[in-house]
Amino acid sequence: MSTVSTEAPPGADRTDGPRRSHAPKRRGPRRDKQWPAYVFLTPWMLGAAVLTLVPMAVSLYLSFTDYNLFEAPSWVGLRNYREMLTEDPRYWRSVGTTLLYVVVAVPLKLVLALGAALLLKSLGRGRSFYRSAFYAPSLLGASMTVALVWRALFNDGGTVPDVLGAIGINTGGWVGNPDLAVFAVVLLTVWQFGAPMVIFLAGLQQISPDLYEAAALDGAGRWRQFVSVTVPMLSPVVFFNLVLEMIQSFQVFTPAFAISGGSGGPADSTMFYTLYLYERGFTASHMGYAAAMAWLLLIAIGVVTLFLFRTSRSWVFYADEEGR
């Protein structure tokens, strides 16, 4: 958890920061006024303690045990971690598959979401209709029905291989091909780009038209305006989407579970990290091993998130920090 502590609590930031100078100093020491915060936080703290912290602590404990769901866990020390890192080739294959997925799906989804948002912005009439329609795939989630549709579309003789074949790319069916199946899963999540699109759209609408006018007066063309106004002004939103999509992609489960029927097939090619975790924990009843996997994943995502926050300082542009 300490891995994300650079994520400054904005509240603390504000109250300690420059704001203090023009805050009315009518009251005594602020320390006295802490109790209302705890009242506001009561539901959250209760939930965090009972429904998050305790289960997390239990899963941390389980990660050092052999636990088959039926009998009391027995302590095995670091055995799960050792077995995972040194004796389990499937573990490393699932890591590789997941990394491939993250590296392909996250940029693709974000680019598409941004492209759609820019396109929507440039549309005048009918924008609302298109916006809803573009969001429609995201309404469905990754249910079993969607999975059946997807398998039919990407199968031998399905629409996607047929269309690709017509333009000279003969792929055959994707779902039964271990080299391509993972991309069918990627495209399913990319297809549901509605949430980041909506967030990008909101970010675009926040950019003041004055900035574009000023750029146009300086003789900047459309491309130039995009590079020097849109990109920097949108960077906080890009960052937000990037972080959240990244966290979600590392935990990709439902689309792969639905498409492969939980098997991660063909031949383990869609056996993503959390799917393997699920298989170990619930199918094979090695919950201790699954818990150890979860904790390594938590640490890995934490490190990547931390890294993103570090790099963000050089490329994310915060308008409200200009004066500092």
Q: How far is the CB of 15 from another protein (least distance, A)?
A: 5
For residues 60 and 81, is the Cβ–Cβ distance under 8 A? no
For residues 190 and 108, is the Cβ–Cβ distance under 8 A? yes
> Other C-beta atoms within 10 Å of 48: how many?
13
Nearer to another protein, 97 or 177 (CB): 177
Q: Where is 66: in which H helix or E strand?
A: strand 65-66
For residues 151 and 175, is the Cβ–Cβ distance under 8 A? yes
Q: How far is the CB of 209 from another protein (least distance, A)?
A: 14
Nearer to another protein, 101 or 278 (CB): 278
Q: How far is the CB of 224 from another protein (least distance, A)?
A: 17
Q: How far is the CB of 46 from another protein (least distance, A)?
A: 5
DSSP string for residues in 245-287: HHHHHHT--HHHHHHHTTS--STTTT--HHHHHHIIIIIS--H
Nearer to another protein, 188 or 215 (CB): 188
Q: How far is the CB of 247 from another protein (least distance, A)?
A: 6
Q: How far is the CB of 103 from another protein (least distance, A)?
A: 18
The DSSP call for residue 65 is: E
Nearer to another protein, 228 or 253 (CB): 253
**How far apart (Å, rounded) are the C-alpha atoms in residues 153 and 159?**
5
Nearer to another protein, 88 or 104 (CB): 88
Non-local (6+) Cβ contacts of 98 within 8 A are 250, 252, 272, 273
Nearer to another protein, 215 or 250 (CB): 250
